[in-house]
Amino acid sequence: MPAVAPDFAQSSRSHQKSRLAAPSSVLEFLKRANFYDYKDQFKTLLKLGARGMKAAGSEQPGAFSRDNSHVPLASVDVARGTKSLLIDVGGSHVRISLRVVDGDGQTALVPLADIPHKESRLSSKKGFDGDPLQRFASYLAHRGYEKLEERRIKTSEINGVAVIWSNAMKCAPIEGTGIKGVTGTVTDREGSYRKNEWFIGKLQNGDDIGAALLGALGKKGIAPEVFLLLNDTTATAKAYGGLDKVDGAGIASTGANETDVIDGKIVSTEAGAKFRLPMPGCGVLTLPDLLASPEGALEDFIAGKGMPLVFTEHILHMGQSGFKPFEKLAVKISKLNERRRLQLFNGLDLSKLDENDLGGFLQGKPEWMRQAIAAEDLPHLKDLAQAIVARGGFLCGLMCSLSIANKPGVLHAQQGGEKPSFTIILDSAQARTKPSYLKAMQDAVVLHLSHVNLKIIVLEPPEDGVSIPIIGAGRALDNFYANDPGVRRES
């Protein structure tokens, strides 16, 4: 795998020495910077990723994770007469839902709460003690209890709880408590916890996430017979119904990750954080990219947390390099502190630009920014956003392909016979909201993996606010209610 990126100061010095002659368009600027060279690197990157997948779980350089979820891909029939509390801890907010399965097997998913992380951070300071994770867990338990009370559901009626945790963890069966299920402890704290949610601040490797959540729930009288702590990619794989033909599942929303399936169990690879893209000169990243992501982590270029910062750094670099449409904005950005620069743009901004909604992009922007962007500058911002978004989609197609990279006939086409067929499930707010992203992802797979039949299914969440991982978490609980998590669905 490629060497570690130079530190920020070294990158900045190189950045200053490599000023380009002022081009007349974003396209010309990016071409001169070799931005588009990534389009020729799919197979090279896939080979690098295949090595990371093959070495997964080892100490080899470039190895991905191999975190067994202890949840089978295959599903069982729904557990009749059960009520389950489902909590999806995402990268930007938490969704809580209630799942009710009646005696006839009819299933209802009821959204209970949608809590932005800012709200939980502020609210948990009032009457909730302990470290950040304990306060967070206590607040979620409190909100869940409140919502059950509103619906006159007793806590004793809750048979199971599933919590979706969108960060790296080492899962293990729960033992010695009388509770069936899976808990998880923090792993790779320094490498994979990259979204900087407020409640992860004091976490260390080995901290038991499930114990903190179960303890907080217990104080509110919620004592489930089944408790599951799931990675979001595990829950996404289950959301499609646990079909045996699914070869992997991915997330590309606030963060990014991809699963593998080993011996019928879903395994998290943490590929979004673990796969480090080649440095400048290798045909993938440019210097502004490294200012946004010194480590060159894959998820920084395909997910909603990283792409806006990549956009910001390109504006700054281009404006300082003589690209006139960005000069005024670059001056303003250069005066911002690191925290404000990180929050300057978001995924919705890139979606608006990608859809050519230039007026929508400007809505709600501070006055200083509106003054720095002339009407004739907006199309150039759109062009830059579309270039970054399209590259994100291309790399998302690469990430989805990692689950099958070491399967026969993928890296090297087989001679004769039918093409091998694979199915990957993807939960991606980026693919759902950015047309250039979805098209580039599909085009990359069609062009570079034409010798296989790879189907990437982008799941659409229900309109009622229930997330895709919540659907999968409910199906995972069914496996454990059945007391036989390996039983396959009969059809």
Using the predicted structure, report yes or no on whether residue 9 has a pLDDT greater than 70. Answer: no
Q: Among all chains, which residue has been given the structure tokens 């270029």?
A: 301
Burial of 100 per CB tally in 10 Å (0-12, 13-18, 19+): middle
User: pLDDT digits over 332-359, tens only?
Assistant: 999 999 889 888 999 999 999 999 999 9
Please give the residue that has the higher pLDDT: either 218 or 4. 218
Rounded to the nearest 5 degrees, what angle is found at the Cα of 24, between the Cα atoms of 21 and 25? 115
Using the predicted structure, report yes or no on whether residue 44 has a pLDDT greater than 60. Answer: yes
The amino acid at residue 210 is G
Averaged pLDDT for residues 130-145: 95
Nearest to 199 by CA among 117, 305, 116: 117
Q: Are 458 and 214 in contact (CB under 8 A)?
A: no
How high is the pLDDT of residue 24?
87
How high is the pLDDT of residue 487?
36
Decide: helix, strand or coil at residue 404: helix
H/E element, 248 = strand 246-252
pLDDT band at residue 490 using 50, 70 and 90 as cut-offs: very low
How high is the pLDDT of residue 230?
95
**Mean of per-residue pLDDT scores for the chain:** 89
Instruction: Report the percent of the chain where pLDDT is more than 70.
Output: 92
User: pLDDT digits over 435-464, tens only?
Assistant: 999 999 999 999 999 999 999 999 998 877
How high is the pLDDT of residue 327?
96
Averaged pLDDT for residues 2-7: 34
Domain annotation for the chain: domains and CATH numbers = 30-63+244-458 (3.40.367.20), 69-240+464-481 (3.30.420.40)
Using the predicted structure, report yes or no on whether residue 207 has a pLDDT greater than 90. Answer: yes
Averaged pLDDT for residues 51-66: 93
- Per-range mean pLDDT, top range of 14-23, 65-74, 192-201, 346-355: 346-355
Using the predicted structure, report yes or no on whether residue 486 has a pLDDT greater than 70. Answer: no
How high is the pLDDT of residue 131?
93
User: pLDDT digits over 246-257, tens only?
Assistant: 899 999 998 999
Decide: helix, strand or coil at residue 146: helix
User: pLDDT digits over 289-301, tens only?
Assistant: 988 998 899 999 9
Measure the CA–CA gap between 303 and 306, rounded to whole angstroms.
Answer: 6
DSSP string, 153-207: --GGG--EEEEEE-S-EEEEE--SSS-EEEEEEE-SHHHH--S--GGGTT--TT-
Q: Are 377 and 319 in contact (CB under 8 A)?
A: no
User: pLDDT digits over 323-333, tens only?
Assistant: 999 999 999 99
H/E element, 12 = helix 8-17
User: pLDDT digits over 224-246, tens only?
Assistant: 999 999 999 999 999 986 555 78
The amino acid at residue 424 is I
Measure the CA–CA gap between 171 and 373, rounded to whole angstroms.
Answer: 49
How high is the pLDDT of residue 6?
33
Nearest to 272 by CA among 308, 237, 304: 304
Q: Are 290 and 280 in contact (CB under 8 A)?
A: yes
